[in-house]
Amino acid sequence: MAGLTFDFTGARVLVTGAAGLLGGACARAFRDAAAQVVATDLKPAEIPGTTFVVGDLTEDTFLDRLHADAGPLDILVNCAAVTHQLMDFCDTTGAMLDEQYAANLRPVHGLSARAARDWRRLARPGVIVNFSSPGAVRAHPDQSLYDATKGAIEALSRAMAVELGPYGIRVNCVAPASIGEAGDIRRDTPLRDAVTPDDVCDAVLFLASPAARRITGTVLAVDSGLSAQLRTP
């Protein structure tokens, strides 16, 4: 971790998309912070110190099994997502839109609802951190369907935050810009620095921690200021 220290001793955390760059980094970050981590993705990944479950998040039967295997959670991190082929909007189809929503939005709803029901039934607080994108509010060229799913995730997160807040359940989003390596120069952003996986993990762990106990329904942009500017240089 880059400059921040968190202690999640005893917390049970589920991280989706853990075979990917950011999901894997989040799983390792929570593990290093002494959490009990269950990680999942469509393909396996080696993340020592975690329990890795392989399966398809678009299938309700797998969501049920994952929910049972993960046990009572404290924190849910919905990182899994797929992008569609770069394509002009006029060439997209309804079937493509359905596929994007099935892969990117439906698992967020399915796992969040299962976790929230447990927390409400057990009268326990809980935390959900969802992954969005700058594309939710500033469109990428030729990524209309992906951006639409991220906008929907932000809307769903706000709605969940409002409904679940009275039960002590917090829901927030992180919206990372494209990922680079430490020291990379990004002349299209105010900070001129690339966003690294550690930068994103710091934001996720902060939102999941007691330090963010009064923060819910927000979107934390981790983008070196990309979304703050009217025009890129």
Give the structural domain span for 176. 12-102+128-228
Instruction: Give the chain's domain count.
Output: 1
Residue pair 75/29 in contact (Cβ under 8 Å)? The answer is no
Tokens of residue 29, six digits = 């970050």
Whole-prediction pTM: 0.95
Tokens of residue 112, six digits = 């969040």
Q: Strand pairing of 126-131 and 169-176? A: parallel
Position 4 in a domain: no
Position 118 in a domain: no
Position 219 in a domain: yes
CATH classification of the domain holding 141? 3.40.50.720
Position 6 in a domain: no
For the residues 207-211, what does the mean pLDDT come to? 98
Position 26 in a domain: yes
What local confidence, expressed as pLDDT, does residue 138 receive?
87
CA atoms within 13 A on the CB side of 176: 23
What angle do the packed helices 144-164 and 106-122 form, to 10 degrees?
10
For tokens 């120069």, the residue is 185
Q: What confidence category does residue 3 fall into, taking pLDDT thresholds of 50, 70 and 90?
A: low
- Asked if 167 is an active-site residue, the reply is no
Q: Strand pairing of 75-78 and 12-16? A: parallel
Position 109 in a domain: no
Position 167 in a domain: yes
For the residues 194-207, what does the mean pLDDT come to? 96
- Asked if 146 is an active-site residue, the reply is yes
Position 123 in a domain: no
